[in-house]
Amino acid sequence: MAERIGVLGAGSFGTALSKLLAENGHNVVVWSIEPDVVEGINRDHRNPTYLTQVQLPKGLVATGDIAAALDGAAVVVSVVPSHVTRETIDRARPHLPAQAIVVNATKGIEQGSLKTMAEVFEELLPADQHSRLAHLSGPTFALELARRQPSAVTVAARDEATAQTVQRLISTDYFRAYTTTDVLGVELGGSVKNVIAIAAGCADGLGFGNNTRAALITRGLYEISKLAMKLGANPLTMAGLAGVGDLVLTCSSSLSRNRTVGFELAQGRQLKLVLKSLGQVAEGVLTAKAVHELAVREQVEMPISQAVYQMLFEDKDPKDAVYELMGRSLKSEVGDLSQSVGTRG
């Protein structure tokens, strides 16, 4: 059944999701703060800034008026960067239809509060709307999604029926959604993998090979799992699309903005210049700071994440970081994982 859907954010992934939903027969209005993006989508059926090479459906409408984007929406999808999620949802809140399902597709951890995006949404939205919150994550590059290349994602919601509703809404013959009720695990997997991807990019930029990348991915997954378990998530989630799936994708492809950040740092470029040249948000940079603070707070040892934090915020040389990781004391591969089990969830 066709639904009225409001999408908040017309960046790369917001544009790709809007395209998918419109092509799936839904009435989609996407909101952007950039007037040229709104004009380009409505006039030329192209986003002039993000995914510029992709033709968009003629029925996809853009607006700079957040109230208009949400008016009558049965489903609202938020795809704005994590550092403006609170501001955006607070702005959208008065215009959210009371019975709307709200889908968060942003991966990140809020600075300062160290809250996941799910916690930010639950803090801002009334309690009776929490059962209609869902969170989308998994290994999906926007460009490949926009080109209709087969992809799979996870939809997490505390209410199974909400997850299944979103699953049916977004699934197509090239986009397959699975469901879970482990919101926390999906959120952490989708966030922390961006930090590990920066490390993988550094290794590639230093000229290391497949052995090094495989080690970083595997030990990075171990770090993510330790933190997730300490906070009360289901460790099996880390073996799924929002865990190892997203981690492998982000660490291995030149399409990954976070991997690109690490690669360029290893080539000797300054962080501020790397970020400026990207022209888009690399969530792993701010997430590295939040993960560092979370690891300290929860007393979870995360050496790869710590090394990335030091490279980004303490000017540590990438080569020194790699050799310090290799020179750490020898230990069992999974010896302390069982000690990471927590109660939060």
pLDDT tens profile 64-101: 999 999 999 999 999 999 999 999 999 999 999 999 99
pLDDT at residue 345 greater than cutoff 50: no
pLDDT at position 341: 57
Mean local confidence (pLDDT), 258-287: 89
What band does 109 get if pLDDT is binned at 50, 70 and 90? very high
- What band does 241 get if pLDDT is binned at 50, 70 and 90? very high
Segments in 206-270 forming alpha helices (H): 210-231, 246-252, 257-266
Catalytic residue chosen out of the listed positions 19, 107, 115, 193: 193
For the chain, give me the number of helices (H) and strands (E)? 15, 8
pLDDT, residue 135, reads 98
Scanning 178-209, the segments in alpha helix (DSSP H) are 183-205
How far apart are the C-alpha atoms of 278 and 275, rounded to whole Å? Answer: 5
Residue 2 confidence (pLDDT): 82
Does 338 have pLDDT greater than 70? no
- pLDDT category, 334, cuts 50, 70, 90? confident
CB 304 within 8 A of CB 215: no
What b/e string do you get for 265-287 counting C-beta neighbours within 10 Å, with b at 16 or more? bbeeeebeebbeeeeebbbbbbb
Convert the pLDDT of each residue in 285-305 to its tens digit: 999 999 999 999 999 999 999
How confident is the model over 247-264, as a mean pLDDT?
Answer: 94
CB-CB contact of 5 with 76 (8 Å): yes
Asked if 225 and 337 touch (Cβ cutoff 8 Å), the reply is yes
Average pLDDT over residues 157-173: 97
pLDDT of residue 322: 84
Mean pLDDT of 26-44: 97
Contact 258, 197 (CB under 8 A): yes
Give 281's contacts (C-beta < 8 A, 6+ positions apart): 11, 81, 83, 257
In total, the chain counts a number of residues equal to: 345
Phi and psi angles of residue 174, each rounded to the nearest 5 degrees, phi first? -125, 0
Neighbours of 104 (CB within 10 A): 27
4-181, what's its fold?
Rossmann fold (3.40.50)
CB 223 within 8 A of CB 304: yes
Q: What average pLDDT does this structure show over 195-204?
A: 95
Which residues, listed in sequence order, are joined to residue 77 by a DSSP beta bridge?
A: 7, 103
Does position 332 have pLDDT exceeding 90, yes or no?
Answer: no
CATH architecture of the domain covering 184-333: Orthogonal Bundle (1.10)
Identify whether 19 is a catalytic site residue: no
pLDDT band at 339 (very low <50, low <70, confident <90, very high): low
Residue spans per domain, the chain = 4-181, 184-333
CA angle 2, 82, 267 (to 5 degrees): 120
pTM of the model: 0.93
Q: How far is it, in rounded angstroms, from Cα 28 to Cα 16?
A: 12
- Mean pLDDT (the chain) is 94
pLDDT-derived band at 283, boundaries 50, 70, 90:
confident
**Rounded CA separation 326/232 (Å):** 30
**Residue 65 corresponds to which amino acid?**
D
Q: Give residues with Cβ within 8 angstroms of 276, minimum separation 6.
A: none
